[in-house]
Structure 1
Amino acid sequence: MQIITPSRLHIALIDLNGSYGRVDGSIGITLENPSLSLTAEETDRDTHVEFSEKNLPQAVTAEYTRKITRAEQNIRRVLGLEQNFCFTVNSTYPTHSGLGSGTQIALATGKLMTEAAGLHLSAVELAKIVGRAGTSGIGTYGFDLGGFIADGGHSKKQKASFMPSSASDPVPPVLLGRYDFPEEWNIVLAIPKNTGLYLSGSAEINVFQTYCPVPKEDVKLLSHIIFMNMIPFLIEKDLEGFSAVLNRIQEIAFNKIEFRLQPPEVSSAMHLMRECGCPGVGLSSLGPTLFGVYDKHDLSVVKELEEKLGDYASFTVTKGQNHGAVLTK
């Protein structure tokens, strides 16, 4: 049994102030590529993880093995499953880079195990078991639904502090809306080669504890431009309007902090991506991956990016994915 899961862009955490009784809230985009491909076969041996890709760095194989093993143990413990599996990772993408690999690895592992046992659980149900979606629900809802996702965060009765998903209780946020991402728009990812700050673990926790709460006025502005500008422009397929809001988001609330933490080369690259023809550019999650949205008919964008930023970053052209993970039995 094989599953291919999407990656995701995390555009913004909406409310890291909490004055009005809720925290978090997120918007983001499900991506066609990069993707995770994972196969599971029952085995008489102990559960183990293999990799079909050759010459992967040891740090990558260790990270994927750790996350698959942790999810497998949680599923086994909570649901009482006894089968052992050989998991084969057929394709990977970078961890701790803002593309949501941790959630996809955990949910993919859980989905394969539960489907093999005849249990048909939703991504929300799986997330509670494998310990995801404690802050953002973009990866969890994208796993099932794809598209552009908006979630409503958590009541402060559920979550009283500002913490990343990895350090929060796995209570998935409420889904506010899911919208198709326009087929006419391409997305280009710029992943730094030799610079950029990759945050995880205690360093990520420290960012939330140091910089939250963010100003209430920023949260008010962010909420307004997301729900009264960005999402309507998305539905109307107004690339110029959507891009203007995306650019504004980078300057306020928690997004402003995320950029401040990155080296100046990341901000410089963002401005160059706009000059190369991406009308809207943002930082995904804490970064360091940048993404640009542009008209798919503009064939000059990637060529210019490679000419001006090829030494700085590697580029992947992708699209929004308007469906969830694909399971093949």
Structure 2
Amino acid sequence: MSRHTPLYEVHQSLGATLVDFAGWLMPLRYGSESAEHTTVRTAAGLFDLSHMGEVFVTGPEAGAALDYALVGEPGALQPGRARYTMICAPDGGVLDDLIVYRLAAEEFLVVPNAANADRVAGELIKRAAPYQAEVTDRSGEYALVAVQGPRAQELLATLTDADLPGLGYYTGLPGVVAGVQALIARTGYTGEDGFELFVANADAVPVWNALTEAGARPVGLSARDTLRLEAGMPLYGNELTADRTPFDAGLGRVVKFDKKGDFVGKTALAARQSPPERLVGLVARGRRVPRHGYAVVDEAGTVVGEVTSGAPSPSLGKPIAMAYVAAAVPENGGLAVDIRGTREPVDVVDLPFYRRKK
């Protein structure tokens, strides 16, 4: 049976199309997917992300424990800062991509994806055991509401006295939003400016209602997917899997080989820095959409890769996709995607497809 977020009844009242996602009943859309997408690109969209996990790591060696458990170096963060990172298996395969917030000298918040929250918490408990650190999965206590788009700061500023202009990208601070305590983080998964607000479950509905009254418009998972795809952001289960390393996805920069001490997956990752495939962007020349799992072929019809994510792009007005292709394939190699037996020509482009104007 699917779990409900604290905002479930709000989504029902708004007439959202609800679907199971990672064991949670979540809003796919409230109306037009393209309209919701455009709202985030031009104004401010409101997301329920309460299915995400919240795992706290505390203690005098919390930083050292995370440095060992993850491929990044959370222990080097200053309080109030955040970092995108990954947790890998000993063979280098990605178990999840994460955001880690350093809340205080001896307190970190790790935010895993919903589908992987239990696994990540379990791995952190195991990997932190030799350290003076305690891992506590508090995912059931928190709701996560995000406001994203060029008007996000303007609208949120009407509900808080926090110094939003002074809050840099990938930073977070405690504050009061709509009269309730929150962790205000300048992070997101849309390619736009925006904020993610961690609040107690009981405060989710008041914060959501205050943001809608301020002018933010609800956005479902479907538009969230096209937004992150345009921004070239990977999705676990598509671009990232336990069979892939950060280097496969072109994200080798998150692996910090020069940090002090060992970390899980270090030896394997050092040997897998030149993967046989690379992640690329594809733009279709026609109107048919390359979808997840479709084969990428060369001019001779030989399969040279596979689409990991694909959708119509409201911003570009064309179908787009991300795909893994053989490293030896030329940058402009006359590629096509096999869509139900028909070769549909595509152009290879650099990621991301969309970059916001600053």
Relative to total residues, which structure has the larger strand share, 1 or 2? Answer: 2
Larger RCO of the pair (alpha carbons < 8 Å, separation 6+): 1
TM-score greater than 0.5 by the shorter chain: no
Provide TM-score, normalisation by structure 1.
0.25
Task: Kindly name which structure, 1 or 2, has the bigger radius of gyration based on alpha carbons.
Answer: 2
Provide TM-score, normalisation by structure 2.
0.24
